[in-house]
Structure 1
Amino acid sequence: MTEDIGAFVPGPRVRIEGQPGGPLSGLTFAAKDLFDVAGVPTGGGNHDWPTGRPVPTRHSWAVQTLLDAGATLIGKTITDEVSLGILGENAFDGTPVNVRAPGRVPGGSSSGSAAAVAAGICDTALGTDTGGSVRVPSSFCGLYGIRPTHGRIDTTGMLPQAPTSDTTGWFARDAATFARVSSVMLGEAIPTALPNKLIVAVDAFGFADPDVAEALKPMVERLTMVIGGVREEIMAPQGLSVWARAQRTLQPVEAYNTFKDWLDTGNPRFAFSVAKALVMGSLTPPAEQSWAALMRQEARGRMRYLLPAGTILCLPTTPFPAPLRGQPLSVLDPLRDRITCLCAQGGLAGHPQVNLPGAAVGGLPVGLSIIGARGSDATLVAVAQAMERAAGA
């Protein structure tokens, strides 16, 4: 596959060989431009962010971990500005090409990482997920992708956005590579035992476009055969849009607090949608923040109730396939809101979630997500492997 898909940050491409003999020897990876790489400025998707900041002298924990395991870093990838985006269009660096859905966005904010893996340029890639930034591009690009349990992965050397929701994630095209990388990043072997109970989130399937729900039916049937016992439940009794509103309240407030000193002293340039999110975060009343924090507690309680050990839940990762590139804000804003309705549980409750590729609508990828109890990350990876085996049986 040609590498001219706009996945990597402009300028000379960094390459760092992995340690020989490790469990990931022979694999290549890319890192979203939120992760520090020694000797390379961390751009954060905004050309004003590196100004006046020292160049990192150490690799981020995630980059170092993959290098120590033998994987070779081949470059840093484009991200939505300071990870405040979900579609993958960057006003400074452009939009990476989604080879699985030509003419359409790759999804963001881990757009370059997902695009590079989908195109076969690297075997795996690091992304981040605050409000859906690994899960969404995984669905749009037809990849395995994980949002780990919040707090499970060391985020040292990763540019933060909203720390109570931020996670480090990664992508792969096949379940075997996904499992190899996941075992290293999670620091544990992938188990052989699988969960024995499956919940189908009927509110989430009802919220997705009808053709998406229909396209995912064979995957749900396969998952039922892999797991066994199945039942239907409503994931968000208060409403998916209510959970989304809570996440859209908490995340911009935290993002504003993360960047407010830079905004004050640097007056940086932003795309309008990014600037608007930061402004809204700065103006959110304390009463609204308090309501959202209470709703987060409700969401956490609901997910704990639904997901004891041995149980997983499935839902569409995104309500629709990748939208067309270059659409006006009046079209994109409602799409972002709908995506958040299926992604808000990640930032609110912090449970691990894995996107499973394997379905399509009109030739465009759509993913099925599985969510487990906090700490069950490796078990979800085992389910991903079992699903791939079942598909090939």
Structure 2
Amino acid sequence: MRALCWHGKGDVRVDTVPDPKIQHPRDAIIKITACAICGSDLHLFDGYQPTMESGDILGHENMGEVIELGSEVTNLKIGDRVVVPFTISCGNCWFCQQGLFSCCDRTNPNAEIAAKAMGQSPAGLFGFSHMLGGYSGGQAEYLRVPMADIGPIKIPDSITDEQALFLSDIFPTGYMAAVNAQIEPGDTVAIWGCGPVGQFAIRSALMLGAGRVIAIDEVAERLDMAEGGGAETIDFSKSDVHEELMRRTNKRGPDSCIDAVGCEASGHGSADAVIDKVKAATFLATDRVHVLRQAIMACRKAGTISIPGVYVGMGDKIPLGAAMNKGLTIKTGQTHVQAYTKPLLAKIVAGEIDPSFVVTHPASLEDAPEMYQKFRDKEAGVIKVVMRPGR
């Protein structure tokens, strides 16, 4: 089959690789009909995520048609259209039983490596390094899906691939970010980053009762899309974000702040952002945490910081004193996707949201290397790339 493979920092190629096979009775094989490039994939592309190996297949936003099933998978049948959560979860461990699917105890075969970096291992993830399981991703013609009796969700024929695909990651991620923000009716929510996750966080915050959403970015197309979703916007290349948030909230600060950027944050005219960039470039730090610092300093006292943006290692000069003395709540985590797919699918079916709004660049799998570059460099108005293998 054809698959997008990582070969080093900034080097991804579409290669011919062996087709996946059933390895366990709980496996399924799906023929990919649509997959997407996620902002988290750029952390791999840019070399920030450790334990990648040359030839690893990328991609964790996947859907397709079931073509083969292991003997223990009874909830699916051949020919079903399914969306696959990016988190691989067993459904049986203590964490899965609590609905904390991204903390699954049993799906990372390399748990010891992750535990050395994090204290304990989270769940295995598709296409996201050997530290997190070494599972092949779905930017490919076919995908092996472990624990297929727990993860995949069947999609009705009335819903298009472009409407359903983002149940694999960015819609649940944006929604969980808003849930973690502990929004009360009428609250003001500030969201850093108007990429795909930020776009869904904007719409989810409003679904959950936010009175105002203030979205922060510098890319014109992203800011326009945010405004189309009901947000006020701040262009951080033109305004001091802290001063502008204080002005708009009568000096109180937003009730909740969502960091939808993560470890590759940038800033204009900010000394800490420049230092972060230098340290990352010289391998003195792994994560650029400028946005997290801004969110902590801007959030109102006794407010909440929600962090869906991916961090991969160590960040420094985080203002913990401000967080503690202001009484902030900080909630983070990879998304418990399986907890959200069914209720969010119901919202799509009911017409409450059409997730296809975020798609700006349909493409073929063979276009993937070029689209990674354009997405990373914010060129040509790229916000979300959806690829169709075999076309």
Return the TM-score normalized by structure 1.
0.29
Structure richer in strand, relative to its length: 2
Return the TM-score normalized by structure 2.
0.30
Structure richer in helix, relative to its length: 1
